[in-house]
Amino acid sequence: MEPGRSDTTPQPIESAIPTIEALARQNLPLEFGAVELDAEGRVAPRDPQKPLQVRFHYLGVPFDIEISGAGSDEVRLAADLGELPYTAESPLGRRYAQRAILAAGALPHGRIFIDNRQHIRFEAACPRPSPLTISQVFAAIALMLLEALPYLRFLTEVLPQRSYRHRAQ
C-alpha cells in the first residue's frame, strides 16, 4: 500500500444516494436528533419518540442533557457535583458548600441541592426551543449554566476532587 492511502476501497457515488434521500425527507431546518446512524452506519430518520441524551464536561464535571421525545416541552440539564464533605473530613469545605447551596436559592431555571445520598446536585430545565436546532439547544444549555455559574465554580473549587475531573472521557 502506498503511503497516505487508505486500505478501504472507494465507494461509488451511488452509495451516498440513500443518505441524501434520508436527509431530503427531513424538514428544514434540520432539527437536533432528527437523524441518526443505523447499525450499518447509514444516516436514517430517528424515532421522534426516543429521548435525546447527551453528556458533556464543563468545569471538570460531567453534565447530562435530556430532551424527551416528541411532545416534550423541556430541555433538562443535570450534574452530580460531588459528595458533601463530612465535618470530620473538611469542616470548612462542608460549611462553604452548604452556604453556597443556600445562596443559590431558587435559580430562575434550576436548583442546587443535596440529595438523599449526600451528593450535591444541579438540575435545571427550560422550555424546549422550536425549532429544535443545535444552536437553540446550545443557547438553552448556556442560559441554564450561566444562571448557576458562580455557584458551580465555587462548589467545584470547594468540593474534594473526583476521579473524573480533569480527564477526558
How many separate domains does the chain show? 2
Q: Which helix (H) or strand (E) holds 152?
A: helix 134-158
Mean pLDDT of the chain: 83
| 119 and 151 together in one domain | yes
| 141 and 62 together in one domain | yes
Query: Per-residue pLDDT tens for 87-127?
Result: 888 889 899 999 999 999 889 999 999 999 999 999 999 99
What DSSP string runs through 63-87?
EEEEE-STT--EEEEEEEEEEPPPT
pLDDT given at position 27: 73
Q: Is residue 8, in this structure, part of any structural domain at all?
A: no
Q: Which three cell numbers stand for residue 20?
A: 441524501
The strand pair at 74-83 and 61-67 is best described as antiparallel
Q: Domain holding 68: CATH number?
A: 3.30.1460.10
Q: Is residue 122, in this structure, part of any structural domain at all?
A: yes
pLDDT given at position 31: 79
| 37 and 106 together in one domain | no
For residue 128, the one-letter residue type is: R
Instruction: Give the structural domain span for 117.
Output: 52-158
Residues lower than pLDDT 70 in the chain: 1-16, 19, 22, 70-71, 162-169
Which neighbouring-strand residues pair with 44?
Answer: 36
Give the global pTM: 0.76
